[in-house]
Copies of this chain bind each other. A is one copy, B any other.
Amino acid sequence: MVREAVAAGDAARLDELLGALSPDAITHAVSRLSSDERDRLFELIDAEWAAYVVDLLPEDEALGVLESLDAGDAAQILQEFTTDEQADYLSEIENAEEILEAFDPEDARELRALVTYDEDSAGGLMGTEFLSFADTLTAAEVVAGIQEEVEENDFDVQYVFVVDAAEKLVGVVPLRDLLLSRRKRPITAVMQPSPHSLRAEATLDEVREFFDEHDLFGAPVVDAGGRLVGVVRRAAARDALAERSDADNLRRQGIVGGEELRSMPMLLRSRRRLAWLSLNILLNIAAASVIAAHQGTLEAVIALAVFLPIISDMSGCSGNQAVAVSMRELSLNVARPDDFFRVLGKEISVGLLNGLALGVLLGAVAWLWKGNPWLGAVVGGALMANTLIAVAIGGTIPLVLKKLKLDPALASGPILTTVTDMCGFLILLSAASATLDHLV
């Protein structure tokens, strides 16, 4: 329906559709448009609707839209966003400087300053929509100040900040306290003094901790001199965290260099996936070289070839379970890199138990299949031993990577599967070599 309205150039119909469709339906409909249709859509709707739609699109698509528009139109759409969102988009838009020139010079100056902060720091997340008042005012004067600001900017105020003559943050006033205060009291008597704040360089994790600890809508950000320079909205922190965990999820499956959407060019999508696949195939070839080195044994007992992929896959699964538990314990703070030996001990006990269960099962299958108890013992024993190795490595490798300041989400899987494949193949084929007389 959106496509038809765009094709017909029916702006009224589009406004009606955007009002009637759910946000999810709009995302879906717009992401289905060709880039020409999309550009046409944004020509037809006003800046307010355009901002609404841009906000619903995945970030890469939103950036594509803003870049393909006239700088003036893009600036108009951006003005519907909060300053932290404006800075976020501008930091990734190629023609950002051109768009900034269509902004009010004062706003542009502020935005240029915001863009200089690291994207995932408090400075990069903060916006400049906050109300601060001098510590010399009374409650009534602050209320009047809010009134003025609200009339001008339709601010969604939750609390106001109090600064001293040097612009240093000295207090925060929840609206509730202002509402219940006598009007003539000095604001310094109403405010909560020495409020918690973040420094502009605070990392995303520090911002997350701040909001975990303080149930506030916004975190005040101060510079090295203690001067109030911005406020991180809770929603901005949440979005940044969701984006990071999203990127982690994709990278864990080996999709690197940014998010993938199927609307992106095929070559880009292929390349982002292939980077990791090419490395993985080399790791696989390295692991399989263990099999190549034991061709003689394999030739004598061809049945072993059936069990090689099983041992590889099962060890990978067991190990990945241990990785998942460690990743979760790290994120919940119940495990730390120096818990290496504790985690190792815990994994060994589970690995013995699960290795026994799985080894007996697979060993029985092998025995029944070929009627040879030795084959069962070799296959079952190899799976048992390799399950133990897999959970021991899987449980501890995220801790080690974290200690080495590497990303455990990214590197744990490939290291685990390469090592467990090699060990599994080696154990099975060596055990078979050693007992070859009984197997043939």
Contact = CB atoms under 8 A, between A and B. Distances in A.
A328 interface: yes
Given A150-B176, A354-B274, A280 B215 contact: no
Interface in A197-216: 209, 212-213, 215
Nearest to A361: B281
A73 interface: no
B281 A314 contact: yes
A235 interface: yes
Q: By DSSP majority rule, is chain A's interface helix, strand, loop, or mixed?
A: helix
Interface stretch (A11-19, A102-110, A186-194, A319-327): A319-327
A252 to B, nearest CB: 8
Contacts of A262: 325, 329, 334-335, 342-343, 346
A157 interface: yes
Interface stretch (A64-72, A112-120, A295-303): A295-303
Interface string A95-137: 0000000000000000000000000000000000000000000
Nearest to A357: B274
B270 A350 contact: yes
A303 B295 contact: yes
A308 interface: yes
A334 B274 contact: no
Contact of A305 (B217, B291, B328): B291
Contacts of A88: none
Given A24-B209, A273-B321, A246 B328 contact: yes
Contacts of A281: 310, 314, 358, 361-362
B23 A277 contact: no
Most chain B beta-carbon neighbours within 10 Å: one of A158, A213, A333, A342: A333
A309 B308 contact: yes
A278 interface: yes
B313 A417 contact: yes
A7 B199 CA distance: 38
Given A31-B334, A280-B314, A306 B292 contact: yes
Interface stretch (A164-172, A253-261, A432-440): A253-261
Given A24-B333, A146-B176, A180-B147, A156 B215 contact: yes
Contacts of A307: 288
Interface in A6-51: 22-25, 27-28, 31
A87 interface: no
A327 B245 CA distance: 14
A415 interface: no
Given A291-B309, A302-B305, 8 more contacts: A23-B333, A263-B334, A280-B317, A281-B314, A285-B310, A295-B303, A302-B302, A309-B312
Instruction: List the 8 closest A-B pairs by CB distance, nearest first.
Output: A253-B324, A305-B305, A31-B334, A27-B333, A24-B333, A175-B175, A262-B346, A270-B353
18 contacts: A27-B333, A27-B334, A28-B333, A61-B334, A143-B180, A156-B174, A175-B175, A253-B323, A260-B325, A262-B342, A273-B318, A274-B354, A274-B357, A277-B321, A277-B354, A281-B361, A281-B362, A295-B303
Interface of A: 22-25, 27-28, 31, 58, 61, 143, 146-147, 150, 156-158, 174-176, 178-180, 209, 212-213, 215, 217, 234-235, 238, 245-246, 249-250, 252-255, 259-263, 266-267, 269-270, 273-274, 276-278, 280-281, 284-285, 287-289, 291-292, 295, 298-299, 302-310, 312-314, 316-318, 320-321, 323-325, 327-329, 332-336, 342-343, 346, 349-350, 353-354, 357-358, 361-362, 365, 369, 417, 421, 425
